[in-house]
Amino acid sequence: MKLAFSTLGVPGLPLADVLRLASEHGYHGVELRTHPEEPVHPGLTPDERAETAAAFKAAGVEILGLAGYARVAAPGDDDAVIGEIRDLLTLARDLGAPFLRVFPGGVEGSPGEADATAARRLGTAAEYAGDVGVRILLETHDSHRTGADAIRILGLVGHRQVGALWDVMHTWLGGEQPLDSYAALSPYLGYVQVKDIASTDDTTPLALGAGVLPLAECVEVLSRHEWDGWLCWEYEKRWYETAAPLAGLLDAGRDHLRRLLNESA
């Protein structure tokens, strides 16, 4: 498996510094948080997009995917959501990123309606995703935090350009065991976000292995089923200003994941 980290852990950091961190600490790739407050967002000009892609290529670091914020199950106008996804897909194509993350974002009380809304929007966006060669990944998050929740949508879509992003924290918080999450998501799985936290009540990011999330079990399940994709460390420093800086944790995090991979081999 390849290792990456998300720029959510180094909010606002210039791309040159992101590339330096990835290269110096032995990460194969980076997941780019895609937001106007970050260096990468849909407002980049064609020249800026080309320069970004060239910088990653020159550094030998892959862009794993773009972490967008489109909410496919949220109430509102379909065209606005689909337009947001199309803009992000175009950006992903221009940067050479194979994946685009989207959120569910449904509201409580009407899961059937949310599922249908998300499936309708994703099905429409999937046609353009196929044209540009980027796969849309629905993250296990918010209204659809478990694998069982996510596949209600994915099963309705039934398109190869729409898959799943397994966030191991959210499936665990949803009460789902890693083996069950994998069983549900494996036909759709794009990549896996790993992290660690102190407890169900305190989701402040911790160094990998320092918290309660079942990372060893997750990696063991993936290895046992010979899944050979990406593990991406999403350290949510952006939302927890008091959390330790990610840069000082990258070596230990890499080593922890490598140990888990060796132990489960």
Give the C-alpha separation, 259 to 265, whole Å: 10
Instruction: With cut-offs at 50, 70 and 90, classify the pLDDT of residue 264.
Output: confident
Instruction: With cut-offs at 50, 70 and 90, classify the pLDDT of residue 110.
Output: confident
SS3 102: strand
What is the mean predicted confidence (pLDDT) over 112-127?
Answer: 97
What is the mean predicted confidence (pLDDT) over 193-209?
Answer: 97
What is the mean predicted confidence (pLDDT) over 238-263?
Answer: 96
What is the percentage of the chain residues whose pLDDT exceeds 70? 100
What is the structure's pLDDT at 219? 97
Instruction: With cut-offs at 50, 70 and 90, classify the pLDDT of residue 224.
Output: very high
Domain boundaries, the chain: 2-264
What is the structure's pLDDT at 223? 96
Distance of CA 178 to the CA centre of its chain: 17
Mean pLDDT over each residue of the chain, to the nearest integer = 97
* Locus of tokens 């999330």: 213
Roughly what angle, to the nearest 10 degrees, separates helices 250-264 and 215-224? Answer: 50
What is the structure's pLDDT at 109? 78
Taking only Cα atoms into account, the Rg of the chain, rounded to an integer number of angstroms, comes to 17
What is the mean predicted confidence (pLDDT) over 159-188?
Answer: 98
Instruction: With cut-offs at 50, 70 and 90, classify the pLDDT of residue 20.
Output: very high
CA triple 183-227-256, angle to 5 deg: 105
Beta strand 189-194 with 2-6 is: unpaired
Rounded to two decimals, the pTM is: 0.97
Which residues make beta-bridge pairs with 192?
Answer: 166, 231
Give the C-alpha separation, 61 to 183, whole Å: 30
What is the structure's pLDDT at 45? 98
CATH superfamily of 2-264: Divalent-metal-dependent TIM barrel enzymes (3.20.20.150)
What is the structure's pLDDT at 248? 97
Q: Is the pLDDT of residue 265 over 80?
A: no
